[in-house]
Amino acid sequence: MTVVTPFEGIGASVRRKEDLRFLSGRGQYTDDINRPGQAYASILRSPHAHATIRGIDIAAAQAMPGVVAVFTGADMPDLGGIPCGWQIHNKDGSPMAEPMHPVLAVGKARFVGDAVAVVVAETKAQARDASEAIVVDYAVLPAVSTVTAAIAAGAPTVHDAVAGNLCYDWHIGDKAINEAAFATAAKVVEFELVNNRLVPNAMEPRAAIGDFDRTTDEYTLFTTSQNPHVIRLLMGAFVLHLPEHKLRVVAPDVGGGFGSKIFHYAEEAIVTWAAGKLARPVKWTAERTESFMSDAHGRDHVTKARLALDNDGKFLALHVQTLANMGAYLSTFATSVPTYLYATLLAGVYTTPSIYAEVKAIFTNTVPVDAYRGAGRPEATFLIERLVDVAARETGIDRIAIRRRNFIPADAFPYQTPVALQYDSGDYQTTLDAALETAGWASFESRRAEAAKRGKLRGIGISTYVEACGIAPSAVVGALGARAGLYEVGTIRVHPTGSVTVLTGTHSHGQGHETTLAQLVTDRLGVPLAQVDVVHGDTAKIPFGMGTYGSRSLAVGGSAMVKAMDKIVAKARRIAAHLMEASVDDVEFDRGTFRVAGTDKTKAWAEICLTAYVPHNYPIEELEPGLDETAFYDPKNFTYPGGAHICEVEIEPETGQVSVVNFTAVDDVGRVINPMIVEGQVQGGVCQGIGQALLEACVYDAEGQLVSGSFMDYQMPRADDLPMVSVATHVTLCTHNPLGVKGCGEVGAIGSPPAVINAVVDALRDYGVRHIEMPATPAKIWGIINAGHALAAE
Amino acid sequence: MYDFEYHKPGSIADAVKILSADPDARPISGGQTLLPALKHRLNKPTSVVDLSGIAELKGIRQEGGKLIIGALAKHHEVSESAVVKGAIPALASLAGTIGDTQVRNRGTIGGSVSNNDPAADYPAAVMALDATIVTDKRRIAADDFFQGMFTTALEPGELLVAIEFPVPEQAGYAKMRNPASRYVMAGAFVAKTGGKVRVAINGAGPGVFRQTAMETALTASWSPDAVAGVKQSAEDLNSDIHGSAEYRAHLVTVMAKRAVVAAG
């Protein structure tokens, strides 16, 4: 009898195992956790962007009902600062400026939202009430909120020891070659743009619970993190000086991160430290307003670029100068974002032979800025793909033709760019062809004419992109200043009856790892999906891990699992060989069945597993019992997903309102494990990209007040702002990891913003507009149209 | 949220008694403005007087040629009411565009009009339709009632009971939403009642106001083209990260034109 089971392995769009609990409200998020005897923390935050703290009077707060303790920075003299995980060096080789980031502000508050004091009380309301009774004597100082203001002569300095607010002045590429290329170029296109600052706004606000066991001296931190082991290392080793074996970090279900939950935040250290001081659990949950003013923001670049071309439109050289806003302090990976995650990608999908990039990182009196979905690669892609469109227009070469002419050809891989990266695989012509076909590029002008009859301005835009993810080879990032390795860890724990528990060092906060990673096991070991569970997010359960960001979970974490499964299969074959009295070399394994090659002698997976744990008939002299293997996998290279995104918009000229009417994404994310999940990841990323391009603006005023400090002023994408996003994949395999996978978590947010803005500029082609800054709001677009009308009237 | 006393009176008289005795007491109906303010600790009332149990504040009826809507009528009720749809379809349709489904099933016309948020929808209708505000003490004409941002003619302790709308020959409303909050960024309500034209503008300025030049133009010719040429001055209009005063001034004309189209 043949038992037919639905295929659940690699390539199957199986439903997400985690969705039952998420969709039925049974997820267990940090704020759902309550510990016996728990007290609540409320953080008093600076209302000023920049102020000297002359004194803090906590007496009234201490006397308030329910107050357990009030702490200020003065109570924490032994704590280290919040560390930065990546040291960048200046052009002259000297290290970046790295000012102390105290857990609670000492002496000065440096942004609106800077933590100044904490109240711990019996209830959340009592903690909040008491925090309002703290009297802080501020002497308000002039503030800087933008990079341009911060580098101006005589600008206020955020840190006294950091002259000119300059964190670093870094470069990559060969300046002399670059200058020579520009000197002989037939055409130079110059361009300036801003990559708008964003507030991450994960659906679940950050939360943290510190717990302390007096009998064992063990601390536990429950936190909304994408990487609990990294938090344990950063907080334990650098801030609280706790050894790892006395500190457990649990990141349970986490409701979205988008990068903002990678970083080690002060609140994690505060609740853990306070739990030890008070010998009782302390819980903090951010209110949405706090999220706006304390979650690390994203993007915020101001860039000047020049592109040199020859007479045929071939790119000869690119020169980029970027000012990157770091905010008031260096967040965990802030320094790497505008350097090694940005400038190294400036070749894009093109053969530009010379690239020279200069990046200055600037301190301002704003929330720290760090990685946000795509982290550096969206900024690079937006610059390149806008620049290419401008170059096409100014050389009179068709937008598609100029791209094709400069593409790295499919037979040129591995391709060494002039900015350090070596792309392993890709096929940009094919993804472009597929996107053009799906989007109906050739018939666009008829749709434009039809829209014009309805009084609408219709435009189409394209972005052809590559990104670098699957972060990252430890030796490479170490040489570039990373203070961590970026391998990943996977344990395959086979149980006696053959079911499997996977322990992964990656963390799922919406991506569907519990399904995708289980599919790897099903595919390789033949165990039904229902018999595979994926465990993540607890340093007490998982051997180690670097967590989830940079679209690394499958490419690095999945590869670690493959290595662990290799060990499992190798051992299981030896057990099978013993049982079948065959040479191990003759034992084949294929999805659940061990067979002596060329015979009908077989053993089932479950029997081997049972034998491993009940080793009555077992090669005990040469093999340990059990079937439980762990592997660390350090990738050989980044992975390089890429593709083409095409956006079609309609603008209502009377109001400037933009509607995205079509969006087509054709992405090469390498081998696809679960097409449904990939589609969802790309759609989500594209929606975030549309949000950045059209809707989202984090705005500070000149005094450093966060003007867009709530959803009343910060426009998150809503369902009716978004089109149906058509997603397709074209696969070229990654050549250096065992799965051939590249990653799909960020491509949507990386490829889409320039496609949207290119479409908006195209829609406005009759109004003499060269560029429109993101977000392209109705008011901005109306301003352009109105100015165009004014020109026409003259 | 700070602590406060909670009262739920059963009559207007009882409610007014509590509110008059305590200047820091606040009435609450749907709570769509007050509750968020309380949650953000932006408001610290000594007591909150829940009006939802007062039958005298409820009901929608047509009487003597007037449409009378009780203060507690929820936006959803107004948008679905056959009486409102029959008398002033533009008002029903306006109510159906306020906030979202959740807001429309909590928020009330009395709360919205008493609050007089410059970016609220109802004040434009009340002003353009020349409605009368009925309180527990008196009757107030719309022109006298709205007195700028979050300010009305209501005195401390005075309670809005109902709004009486004359039934117009024609009425229409159009608005551009603030992209983030989706409150009104610029809106126009146009109405012709008893041969008289009134145009009220909301969202664009610090409070609802009448656009008299548009009223004159529409009186001369009730057509979208008549207002399309009437420019709104940007002076005194709001300017913020979502749009300049000039943009809002432009939108006023566009929305007035669309309101006339909607009025038919």
Summarize pLDDT for A20-47 with one digit per residue, the tens.
999 999 999 999 999 999 999 999 999 9
> Mean of the pLDDT values across residues A478-504?
96
pLDDT confidence band for A347 (50 / 70 / 90): very high
C-alpha distance from B180 to closest chain A C-alpha (Å): 4
Residue partners of A592: CB distance under 8 A and separation at least 6: A525, A526, A527, A604, A605
Share of chain A above pLDDT 70, in %: 99
User: How many Cβ contacts (< 8 angstroms) between chains A and B?
Assistant: 46
Q: Please state, in angstroms and rounded to a whole number, the distance separating the CA atoms of residues A255 and A358.
A: 36
Hey, of B97, B181, B237, which one would you mutate to test binding to chain A, going by the most A CBs within 10 A of its CB? B181
**Which helix (DSSP H) or strand (DSSP E) does residue A503 occupy?**
strand A500-504
Report pLDDT for A5: 65
C-alpha distance from A766 to closest chain B C-alpha (Å): 21
> CB–CB of B179 and A783 under 8 A?
no
Q: Is the pLDDT of residue A686 over 90?
A: yes
Q: CB-based burial of residue A298 (10 Å sphere; 0-12 exposed, 13-18 middle, 19+ buried)?
A: buried
Per DSSP, what are the bridge partners of residue A355?
A318
**A708 chain-B contacts, CB cut-off 8 A:** 180, 241
Of A449-453, A789-793, B41-45, the least confident = A789-793
**A697 chain-B contacts, CB cut-off 8 A:** 241
Task: Check the CA dihedral A299-A305-A309-A313 and report its sign.
Answer: positive
Identify which of A71, A63, A143, A72 has the alpha carbon closest to the alpha carbon of residue A106. Answer: A72
Report pLDDT for A314: 98
Token pair 């200058």: residue: A179
**A714 chain-B contacts, CB cut-off 8 A:** 180
At A616-638, the pLDDT tens digits run: 999 999 999 999 999 999 999 99
Token pair 């649990």: residue: A250
Low-confidence spans in chain B with pLDDT less than 70: none
ipTM score here?
Answer: 0.95
Report pLDDT for A753: 98
Token duo for residue A136: 């802080």
Facing A779 at nearest CB: one of B2, B41, B247: B247
Token pair 């165990």: residue: A527
> A779 touching B, CB under 8 A?
yes
Token pair 């001369």: residue: B220
Q: Please state, in angstroms and rounded to a whole number, the distance separating the CA atoms of residues A197 and A109.
A: 21
Domains and CATH numbers, chain B: 170-263 (3.30.390.50)
Q: Please state, in angstroms and rounded to a whole number, the distance separating the CA atoms of residues A415 and A425.
A: 8
Q: Does domain A487-633 have CATH number 2.40.160.40?
A: no
Report pLDDT for A790: 62
Q: Please state, in angstroms and rounded to a whole number, the distance separating the CA atoms of residues A161 and A238.
A: 22
pLDDT confidence band for A688 (50 / 70 / 90): very high
Q: Please state, in angstroms and rounded to a whole number, the distance separating the CA atoms of residues B225 and A655.
A: 17
Kind of pairing between the strands at A315-327 and A354-363: parallel
Dihedral angle of Cα A604, A609, A610, A614, to the nearest 10 degrees? 140
**Which helix (DSSP H) or strand (DSSP E) does residue A563 occupy?**
helix A559-579
With CA atoms as reference, the chain A residue closest to B176 would be: A655
> A778 touching B, CB under 8 A?
yes
Per DSSP, what are the bridge partners of residue A309?
A187, A315
Q: Please state, in angstroms and rounded to a whole number, the distance separating the CA atoms of residues A76 and A56.
A: 14
> CB–CB of B180 and A699 under 8 A?
no
Question: What residue type is A156 in one-letter code?
Answer: P
Domain spans of chain A? Answer: 487-633
Residue partners of A68: CB distance under 8 A and separation at least 6: A39, A120, A121, A122, A278, A280
**B250 chain-A contacts, CB cut-off 8 A:** 782, 786
C-alpha distance from A752 to closest chain B C-alpha (Å): 21
Report pLDDT for A6: 78
> CB–CB of A697 and B179 under 8 A?
no
At A296-310, the pLDDT tens digits run: 999 999 999 999 999
In DSSP notation, A186-238 reads: SEEEEEEEEE--B----SSPPEEEEEEETTTTEEEEEE--S-HHHHHHIIIII
Report pLDDT for A260: 98
> A708 touching B, CB under 8 A?
yes
Identify which of A471, A259, A465 has the alpha carbon closest to the alpha carbon of residue A381. Answer: A465
Token duo for residue A306: 């020049």
Report pLDDT for A1: 42
Q: Is the pLDDT of residue A183 over 80?
A: yes
With CA atoms as reference, the chain B residue closest to A658 would be: B179
> A713 touching B, CB under 8 A?
yes
> Mean of the pLDDT values across residues A60-64?
98
Is the preceding omega at residue A564 within 30 degrees of 0, hence cis? no
